[in-house]
């Protein structure tokens, strides 16, 4: 892809658009919006079988994507009432949804003859003007169009809004020549394909991680051989609920990670970087620093790198963390529980990882009695009594190392996903508005090269 600067940009309701293109409306490209009908349907795990008919859920379209798996199976007595089947090279639009999602749309690449629209979704019927519906679908995702849709939505409920056909058909779009429409759509589709690949890699890696969590905390990695390799465990205890290797112990959390408090004498002239209550698992643990005067009567406790941290309000959500070296010297209030792990018996990351597995979170939930939300409070004695399956220390560290590798891969993929999403947003803005003009004679390269173009 080569980029050519537009000669002159002019202001429009969509922002700056190249003056080479006249402005039009969605109705120039869409002759009609066809709705489905409301029918009775049921949820099934397998979706539609070969002889069944489905009706789409509103969530079948989101952020320009169409997900045919988002459907229900129409009950036999209503099959004859369905209308408007899913047709390829069309756009499906949500006419009724929450304020954030009303007007969401998705491009349909090919026919799905056994799926039909409900009355809350529209499907475009292209006009006779030469056009690319794929190109138009990207415009319907453009932030300026989404703002106009939100402004035109009506409804008295704060939880549900509607848009009219007139609102959609009157949305402004440039009358981009067809060859450029096709090239712009091809470039952005290549970007979407790249994002889809990364999403599948993330999904596969997350599935691998889940499988490892289930295996490593029940069967471990085995014993170390003389040559440094590991041999799987072959002997397990007789506990039918959770058989564990016979070389493992089951211990109380309080025996290997006792509660510790390091009270701080607050001085008015000092500053105190405090932990954020729900920031666990997000790579940051602190709020802006408080001065001693701002702390007031709040009791603060010093945190040291390697501490095992719990939010006593949100532990049942998995709000557990390990203090990093950069967190050394930060402070927690009474809303936090701090445990100092005995390094000779337990690996801190092993304990952390176990407590964030489904089994660990279930144990923290049982240790947090009360109602919903902030009414749940982690009990200190209940926390100390949580049972932990504990392998020998060397095996604990090996389990941690394996999961570290998987998490590192997930982190790389997440960063790659963020980079390509940022690149796509930039390309949409530049290409759709004509600020960058595509060379219709050139081939579409791998989107990674767009960063270097």
Tens digits of residue pLDDT in 239-253: 667 789 999 999 999
**DSSP SS3 for 289:** coil
State how beta strands 301-302 and 172-174 pair: unpaired
Domain ranges of the chain: 1-21+176-248+391-453, 26-172, 250-387
**Level-2 CATH architecture, domain 250-387:** Alpha-Beta Complex (3.90)
Q: Does pLDDT of 400 surpass 80?
A: yes
Give pLDDT tens digits for 331-343.
766 677 889 999 9
Cα Rg of the chain, angstroms? 28
Mean pLDDT of the chain: 88
Could you tell me what percent of the chain has a pLDDT over 90? 65
Please answer whether residues 301 and 338 qualify as being in contact, where contact means their C-beta atoms are separated by less than 8 angstroms.
yes
- Residue 283 is predicted with a pLDDT of 38
The pLDDT, as a whole number, for residue 46 is 84
Q: Which residue has the higher pLDDT, 317 or 33?
A: 33
pLDDT at 5 over 90: no
Token pair listed for 180: 């450029």
Q: pLDDT tier at 57 (50, 70, 90 boundaries)?
A: very high
Q: Which CATH class is domain 1-21+176-248+391-453?
A: mainly alpha
Do 1-21+176-248+391-453 and 26-172 have matching folds? no
Distances from the Cα of 299 to the Cα of 265, 314, 334, 435, angstroms: 9, 19, 7, 56
Q: In CATH, what number does 26-172 get?
A: 3.90.220.20
Please give the pLDDT value at position 372: 61
Instruction: Decide: 432 and 15 in contact? Cβ < 8 Å.
Output: no
pLDDT digits (tens, 9 = 90+) for 274-291: 666 554 444 344 565 666
Res 302: pLDDT? 81
Nearest Cα to 339, choosing from 384, 369, 376?
Answer: 384
Is pLDDT of 452 > 50?
no
Q: What is the pLDDT of residue 320?
A: 87
When pLDDT is cut at 50, 70 and 90, the band that residue 446 belongs to is low
């Amino acid at each position: 892809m080569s980029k050519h600067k537009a000669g002159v940009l002019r202001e429009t309701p969509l922002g700056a658009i190249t003056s080479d293109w006249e402005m039009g409306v969605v109705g120039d490209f869409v002759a009609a919006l066809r709705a489905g009908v409301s029918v009775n349907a049921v949820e099934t795990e397998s979706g539609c079988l070969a002889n069944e008919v489905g009706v789409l859920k509103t969530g079948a379209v989101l952020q320009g994507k169409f997900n045919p798996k988002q459907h229900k199976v129409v009950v036999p007595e209503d099959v004859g009432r369905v209308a408007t089947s899913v047709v390829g090279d069309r756009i499906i639009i949500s006419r009724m949804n929450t304020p954030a999602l009303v007007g969401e749309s998705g491009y349909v690449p090919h026919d799905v003859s056994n799926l039909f629209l409900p009355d809350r979704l529209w499907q475009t019927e292209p006009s006779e003007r030469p056009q690319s519906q794929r190109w138009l679908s990207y415009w319907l995702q453009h932030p300026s169009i989404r703002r106009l849709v939100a402004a035109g939505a009506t409804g008295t409920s704060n939880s549900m809004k509607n848009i009219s056909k007139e609102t959609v058909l009157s949305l402004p779009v440039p009358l981009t020549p067809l060859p450029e429409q096709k090239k712009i759509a091809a470039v952005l589709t290549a970007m979407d394909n790249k994002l889809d690949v990364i999403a599948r890699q993330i999904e596969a890696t997350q599935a691998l991680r889940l499988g490892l969590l289930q295996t490593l905390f029940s069967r471990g990695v085995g014993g170390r051989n003389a040559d440094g390799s590991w041999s799987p465990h072959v002997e397990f205890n007789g506990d039918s609920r959770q058989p564990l290797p016979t070389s493992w112990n089951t211990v109380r959390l309080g025996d290997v990670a006792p509660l510790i408090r390091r009270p701080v004498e607050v001085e008015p002239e000092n500053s105190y970087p405090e932990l954020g209550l729900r920031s666990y698992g997000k790579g940051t643990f602190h709020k802006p620093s408080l001065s001693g005067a701002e702390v007031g009567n709040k009791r603060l406790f010093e945190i040291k790198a390697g501490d095992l941290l719990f939010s006593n309000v949100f532990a049942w959500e998995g709000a557990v963390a390990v203090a990093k070296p950069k967190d050394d010297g930060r402070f927690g209030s009474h809303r936090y529980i701090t445990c100092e792990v005995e390094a000779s018996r337990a690996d801190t990351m092993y304990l952390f990882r176990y407590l964030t597995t489904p089994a660990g979170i279930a144990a923290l939930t049982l240790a947090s009695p009360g109602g919903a939300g902030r009414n749940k409070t982690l009990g200190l004695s209940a926390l100390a009594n949580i049972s932990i399956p504990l392998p020998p220390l060397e095996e604990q560290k090996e389990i941690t190392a394996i999961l570290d590798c998987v998490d590192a891969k997930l982190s790389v993929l997440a960063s790659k996903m963020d980079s390509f999403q940022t690149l796509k947003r930039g390309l949409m803005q530049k290409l759709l508005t004509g600020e960058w003009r595509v060379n219709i004679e050139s081939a579409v390269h791998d989107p990674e090269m767009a960063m270097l173009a």
